[in-house]
Structure formats: structure tokens, C-alpha cells
């Protein structure tokens, strides 16, 4: 694939507009009774019309067979090779609660867990406590003092929390304390590079103090840490693509991912109508918009086939408002599949459509997994999307003499 440096050389700023609509978890699997996926079960006249006027294909976010997390799924669509540009688990969890990172921070994902009298882990999730209980426990740990760093301990959901260590000279090259099994002791955090000794000692001090603080809080009497990471320093879209890029995303994690690649995050209401109102209000100020729809993924994760189809219909019904703005390039796809039948992210490729004045319509007349497999894009990696978007917006100069 072409590298960001090579794209940077040929990208130029123009007034043309690109809108990327990501319907989270869009791809599905056929319902056993009907043989149709969630998307194929939904009535989507507006998406079908876009497909008919555009080019279509089946897209792999990371690589065929690979189930993407939210970060790789989105980064690929923003043109950042997800096999090279990594966002650590700790950072991703912190983005998910709108944590405001400083460059020097090191973040870890934490679990409240249960240990027995000998210190062996008996439940890695402490019985999946309530988020409210998690908040209480986090407040207890957030006040701990560790020499040389400012500590943040913040609740995420159920047993999950985020620990952020803010201080100078901290490396994130640290092993997990989470042993990923029961019946053993939590591991010591070990430095994975020569410069990481200080950070390891701080992490271990935190674990020791947390253990002491939680001693009488059975079953939440210990913590496990994993995914130590720092806020990534990726080349921003403004530099690489010469774009003024804006994100319209109601959920913190996606706002955070957008910030990681240098998008401006617009305040927005959470419904598709409110998101499209945000688009209309800000339409003149940017030339690239990422719009994120979360509810499809949530319905898929819940295994609710019909609700996922219904959400897709709601998105379709709202589209005329987007289409009326007449963006030079409209792209609709997802960041990964979430088939209701699997109740989770999956590796299945995603239906994809791109409509522009300068595309060569390929005869696909419906926006569905099956119809898109006959599109002229064929089966393709998501990292192709950004160059194609820029090309169709006439923002790329010729490559090579």
C-alpha cells in the first residue's frame, strides 16, 4: 500500500467536501429463517440509490479473517495502517471516558478482582460488580499518593477502570500484572526496556497500595493492570491529507480516536438527526467529516437482529438531509461487522459504497453484503478508502513523473 509520506506529497487542499458515515458494526450474517442479513432485511431506499450512483465493494478493516477492535477498525478508515499504528488498551479505555491526555501520561486498563487468603486470583472480574460500586472503589484509589507522579484512577464500566500515571520520564514498555487466569498470583509489572524501570516500580507501588487499601473490600480486594500505553503521536490528517477534518461522534471512544488523528471534535447530540444537524451547521468550516453511528453495533452485541435492522432503517431515513448538502464524496460503511448471530465483533468484510461525480458506477443496485460483493472495488483493504476519497474529491495530484 501507498505510505502516508507518499500521500502527503500529492495531497492538496481544495474546497471539495468528503463525508464518511461509519455505521458501527454494520456487517452481519444471514438470519437462519430468511437467509438475509440485518442490512438485507432493512428497507434502505436512500442507501440503495447511493450504491446505484456509486462504486461498491467488500472491505476488510485489518485483513481477511481478522476481527478488528474499534481502534484498528477506525484508524484503517482514516488511512492509518492498523497493523502499524497501534493504540494501547490503556489509552483506548481512557479515551472511552473522555480522559484528557498529556503527552507524558502512561495509562493502564484495570480490573477489580478477587484474591483469596494466599493472594491467588479467584475471580478476574470480582463477580462483575456494578459500575456504581466501581466508582466508589476508584475514589478510594484515586487519592493514593505515589512519589513523583500524579495518579488518576477512573471508573469505566462494571469491574473495569483506568489508571493513569502522570509524571516525567515514564515509559509504557511494561508487562501486564493481569495473569489472565485464576489460581495464580497477580504478576509483578516488569520493565520491558532499559528505560522502563522507574515506571515499573511506580506501577508496582500502585498495585501494592491498592491491595492494602482494598484489603477489607472483599470480593473487590485486588486490582489487575494491563495494556500500559502512552497517547500515540500519529501524523495528523491536516498534515498528511491537508484536510480540515471534523468528527461528529456522540461516544467518547470514537471522539478520542478522531482526536488521535488530529480531527476537530464537534459537540453534537446523540441521535442521527442531531448528528446530521451538526453536520449541516458546520458544513462550511471543514472539508472532511467523520460521522459515527453507534446503535447498530450495540444491537448486534445484544444479539438483537431486528433492532439492528431497525436502526439501519432509521439511518437510511435520515440520509436525505445529508444528501441534500451534496458533498463531493459520500462514503458509507462500517468499522467492522457485528452479526447479531455472533453477539460481538466479527471478521466478516463490510459492505462499502462511495458516491461522487467522478466515480464510475458499477451496476450494483442495492446496498447489501451480497450486492457489494459484485461491485467494482472487489474485496479490498480499508486503508484504500482514504486515497479513494481524496481522489474522488480531486484532492490528489499525480504520483510520479
Task: State which of residues 25, 110, 327, 349 lies at the interface with a copy of itself (CB under 8 A).
Answer: 349
Nearer to a copy of itself, 235 or 344 (CB): 344
Task: State which of residues 88, 155, 300, 334 lies at the interface with a copy of itself (CB under 8 A).
Answer: 88
Q: How far is CA 356 from CA 195, 201, 333, 394, in A?
A: 50, 55, 15, 10
- Give the range of 98-106, 199-207, 297-305, 375-383 binding a copy of itself by CB under 8 A: 375-383
Annotate 320-373 with three-state secondary structure: HHHHHCCCCEEEEECCCECCCCCCCCECCCEEEEEEECCCCCCCCCCCCHHHHC
235: nearest Cα among 373, 81, 123: 81
Q: Which single residue is written with the C-alpha cell 433492532?
A: 307
- Give the range of 85-93, 110-118, 177-185, 297-305 binding a copy of itself by CB under 8 A: 85-93
Q: Is 397 in the site for a copy of itself (CB under 8 A)?
A: yes
Binding footprint of a copy of itself, residue count (CB under 8 A)? 67
Task: State which of residues 14, 16, 46, 67 lies at the interface with a copy of itself (CB under 8 A).
Answer: 67
State the minimum distance, in angstroms, from the CB of residue 85 to a copy of itself: 10
Nearer to a copy of itself, 272 or 386 (CB): 386
The SS3 call for residue 342 is coil
Q: Which single residue is written with the C-alpha cell 478508502?
A: 385
Nearer to a copy of itself, 159 or 276 (CB): 159
Residues 227-266 that bind a copy of itself (CB under 8 A): 227
* CA–CA distance, 253 with 165 (Å, rounded to integer): 20
Neighbours of 108 (CB within 10 A): 30
Q: Do 345 and 299 touch, CB atoms closer than 8 A?
A: no
Nearer to a copy of itself, 175 or 217 (CB): 175
Q: Is 54 in the site for a copy of itself (CB under 8 A)?
A: no
Neighbours of 181 (CB within 10 A): 8
Task: State which of residues 9, 13, 64, 306 lies at the interface with a copy of itself (CB under 8 A).
Answer: 64
Q: Is 103 in the site for a copy of itself (CB under 8 A)?
A: no
Task: State which of residues 16, 30, 201, 211 lies at the interface with a copy of itself (CB under 8 A).
Answer: 30
Cell of 272: 442521527
Q: Is 58 in the site for a copy of itself (CB under 8 A)?
A: yes
Residues 157-216 that bind a copy of itself (CB under 8 A): none
Nearer to a copy of itself, 120 or 391 (CB): 391
List the beta bridge partners of residue 95.
none
* CA–CA distance, 109 with 167 (Å, rounded to integer): 18
In angstroms, how far is the first alpha carbon of the chain from the final one? 19
Task: State which of residues 20, 49, 62, 261 lies at the interface with a copy of itself (CB under 8 A).
Answer: 62
Task: State which of residues 23, 38, 39, 69 lies at the interface with a copy of itself (CB under 8 A).
Answer: 69
258: nearest Cα among 84, 90, 104, 70: 70
Give the burial class of 84: count Cβ atoms within 10 A of its Cβ; 0-12 exposed, 13-18 middle, 19 or more buried.
exposed
Q: Is 71 in the site for a copy of itself (CB under 8 A)?
A: yes
Q: Where are the alpha helices (DSSP H) in 66-195?
A: 70-77, 89-95, 131-142
Q: Is 379 in the site for a copy of itself (CB under 8 A)?
A: yes
Task: State which of residues 15, 65, 183, 267 lies at the interface with a copy of itself (CB under 8 A).
Answer: 65
Burial 190-218 (b: 16+ CB within 10 A, else e): ebeeeebebbbebbbbbbebbeebbeebe
- Give the range of 14-22, 83-91, 165-173, 211-219 binding a copy of itself by CB under 8 A: 83-91
**Contacts with a copy of itself, residue ranges (CB under 8 A):** 1-3, 6, 10, 29-30, 37, 57-58, 62-72, 82-83, 86-89, 91-93, 227, 341-342, 345-349, 358, 360-363, 369-370, 373-380, 384, 386-392, 396-401
Amino acid at each position: 500500500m501507498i505510505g502516508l509520506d507518499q500521500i502527503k506529497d500529492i495531497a492538496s487542499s481544495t474546497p471539495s467536501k468528503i463525508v464518511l458515515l461509519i455505521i458501527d458494526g454494520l456487517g452481519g450474517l444471514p438470519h437462519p429463517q430468511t437467509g438475509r442479513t440485518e442490512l438485507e432485511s432493512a428497507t434502505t431506499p436512500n442507501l440503495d440509490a447511493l450504491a446505484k450512483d456509486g462504486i461498491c465493494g467488500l472491505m476488510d478493516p485489518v485483513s481477511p479473517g481478522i476481527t478488528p477492535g474499534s481502534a484498528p477498525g477506525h484508524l484503517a478508515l482514516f488511512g492509518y495502517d492498523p497493523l502499524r499504528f497501534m493504540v494501547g488498551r490503556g489509552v483506548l479505555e481512557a479515551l472511552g471516558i473522555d480522559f484528557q491526555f498529556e503527552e507524558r501520561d502512561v495509562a493502564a486498563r484495570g480490573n477489580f478482582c478477587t484474591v483469596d487468603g494466599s493472594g491467588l486470583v479467584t475471580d478476574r472480574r470480582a463477580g462483575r460488580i456494578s459500575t456504581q460500586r466501581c466508582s466508589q472503589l476508584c475514589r478510594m484509589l484515586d487519592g493514593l499518593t505515589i512519589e513523583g507522579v500524579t495518579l488518576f484512577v477512573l471508573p469505566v464500566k462494571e469491574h473495569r477502570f483506568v489508571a493513569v500515571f502522570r509524571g516525567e520520564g515514564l515509559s509504557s514498555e511494561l508487562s501486564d500484572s493481569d495473569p489472565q487466569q485464576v489460581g495464580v498470583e497477580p504478576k509483578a509489572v516488569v520493565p520491558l526496556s532499559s528505560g522502563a524501570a522507574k515506571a515499573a516500580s511506580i506501577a508496582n507501588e500502585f498495585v501494592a497500595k491498592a491491595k492494602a487499601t482494598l484489603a477489607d473490600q472483599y470480593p473487590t480486594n485486588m486490582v489487575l493492570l494491563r495494556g500500559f500505553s502512552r497517547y500515540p503521536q500519529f501524523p495528523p490528517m491536516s498534515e498528511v491529507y491537508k484536510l480540515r477534518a471534523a468528527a461528529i461522534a456522540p461516544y467518547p471512544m470514537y471522539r478520542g480516536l478522531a482526536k488521535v488523528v488530529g480531527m476537530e471534535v464537534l459537540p453534537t447530540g446523540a441521535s442521527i438527526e442531531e448528528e446530521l444537524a451538526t453536520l449541516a451547521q458546520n458544513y462550511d468550516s471543514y472539508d472532511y467529516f467523520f460521522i459515527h453511528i453507534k446503535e447498530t453495533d450495540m444491537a448486534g452485541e445484544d444479539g438483537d437482529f431486528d433492532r439492528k435492522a431497525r436502526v439501519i432503517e432509521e439511518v437510511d431515513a435520515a440520509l436525505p438531509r445529508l444528501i441534500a448538502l451534496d458533498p463531493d464524496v459520500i462514503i458509507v460503511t462500517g468499522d467492522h461487522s457485528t452479526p447479531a448471530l455472533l453477539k460481538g465483533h466479527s471478521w466478516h468484510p463490510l459492505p462499502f459504497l462511495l458516491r461522487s461525480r467522478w466515480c464510475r458506477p458499477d451496476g450494483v443496485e442495492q446496498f447489501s453484503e451480497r450486492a457489494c460483493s459484485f461491485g467494482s472495488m472487489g474485496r479490498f483493504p480499508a486503508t484504500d478508502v482514504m486515497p479513494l476519497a481524496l481522489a474522488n474529491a480531486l484532492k490528489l495530484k499525480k504520483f510520479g513523473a
